[in-house]
A and B are shown apart, each in its own frame.
Chain A
Amino acid sequence: MELYFFLFFAIVAVASSVAMILQRNPIYCVLLLIMVMISIAGLYLMLDAQFVAIIQIVVYAGAIMVLFLFVIMLLNLSREEGGVFRIQKPLAVLLATLLFLPVAAMIMSYAGGGSTPPAAGGDAGFGEVEQIGTLLFTKYLLPVEIAAVLLLIAIVGAVVLTRKGTVSVGE
C-alpha cells in the first residue's frame, strides 16, 4: 500500500518536473512546479516529517511560487523564447547525463553498504513541531539567527534593487 503511494507521488513529481522543463508558457511552468512541490510534501508526510511537509506547502507552494507567478504576470511573459546557441540543448542533456553517473554511483555504493528500511513509525513525536522547535532553539540557534539575518538582507536587497530611479545599471 505504501509503495503505491510512493510510486504515485514519485511519478507525479517526475512527470510534472519533466513537463515543467518542456513547457513553453512560464505560467504553466509555475503551476507544474507547484504540483512537484505538493507531491514532494506528500513524500515528506510518508517519511514522518509533518512539520517539513506543512512548511513545504505553505512556504514553497504558497509563498515562493506566488512570487514567481507575480513576477511573470508583472513582466507579461508569455511569448516564445528564442536562442542563440544551437548546440545548447544536446550539450545540456549530455552534461546532465554525465552528472547522473557520479550520483548513481554514490547511491549504488550506499545501497551496497547495508540499506535498512526506515524505522516503522517507532519513536513517537518524530518530526513533529515540538521536536523541531526544541532543536531549532537549542542546538541550531546560531544557524537560525544567521538565517534571520539572511532574510533581512534579502528583503532590504530586493527593495533597494527594484526601487525606481536610484539604481542605474547599464546605459
Chain B
Amino acid sequence: MIPVTYYLVLSAVLFLVGATGVLVRRNAIIVLMGIELMLNGANLSFVAFARQFGMADGHIYVFLVITVAAAEVAIGLALVILLFRNRGTVNIDEVRSLRW
C-alpha cells in the first residue's frame, strides 16, 4: 500500500501550484481556477486521512468543500461577468480603483 505521506506531499504540491497560479496570473478567471486547484489539494489530504483512520467523515468534508466551491464559482464568475461588462477587461491589474 502507498503511505499516506505520498498523498500528503502530492496534495501540498497541488495546493502550492494553485497558490502560485493565484499569485502569478492576471486573468481573473484563471485566478479562480487556481483557487479551485488549491481546494482540490486540500480535498486530497481529507480523503487520504479518511482512508488512513478508516473514518468516512473526511468524505463529508470533501462533499461540503465541493458545495462551497460551486457556490464560490457561481458568485465569482458572476462578478467577473459584471467586471467585464463595466470595464471591458478581466485583467485584475487594471482593476485598482480601490487601491490608494
Known: A17-B18, A51-B59. A89 touches B24 (CB 8 A): yes
The size bracket of the interface on B is 35 or more
Residue from the list A63, A83, A140, A151 in contact with B71, Cβ < 8 A:
A151
Chain B nearest CB, measured from A102 CB (Å): 10
Chain B nearest CB, measured from A3 CB (Å): 6
Chain B nearest CB, measured from A121 CB (Å): 9
Choose among B5, B8, B51 the residue with the greatest number of A CB atoms under 10 Å from its CB. Answer: B51
Known: A100-B16, A127-B56. A47 touches B3 (CB 8 A): no
Residue from the list B2, B4, B13, B60 in contact with A3, Cβ < 8 A:
B2
The size bracket of the interface on A is 35 or more
Q: Which residues of A83-115 are within 8 A (CB) of B?
A: 83-85, 88-89, 91-93, 95-96, 99-100, 103-104, 107, 110-111, 115
Q: What residue of chain A has the Cβ atom nearest to residue B45's Cβ?
A: A107
Tell me whether chain B's interface is mostly helix, strand or loop, or mixed. Answer: helix
Q: Which residues of B contact A67 (CB under 8 A)?
A: 73-74, 77
Chain A nearest CB, measured from B64 CB (Å): 6
Q: Are A71 and B81 in contact (CB under 8 A)?
A: yes
Residues of A within 8 A of B (CB): 2-3, 6, 10, 13-14, 17-18, 20-21, 26, 29-30, 33, 36-37, 40, 43-44, 46-49, 51-52, 55-56, 59-60, 63-64, 67-68, 71-72, 74-75, 77, 81-85, 88-89, 91-93, 95-96, 99-100, 103-104, 107, 110-111, 115-120, 122-123, 126-127, 131-132, 135-136, 139-140, 143-144, 147, 150-151, 153-155, 157-158, 161-162, 167, 169-170
**Known contacts A77-B27, A126-B54, then 8 further A-B pairs from the complex at CB < 8 Å, ordered by chain A residue:** A2-B1, A46-B2, A77-B90, A96-B20, A151-B67, A154-B74, A154-B75, A162-B81
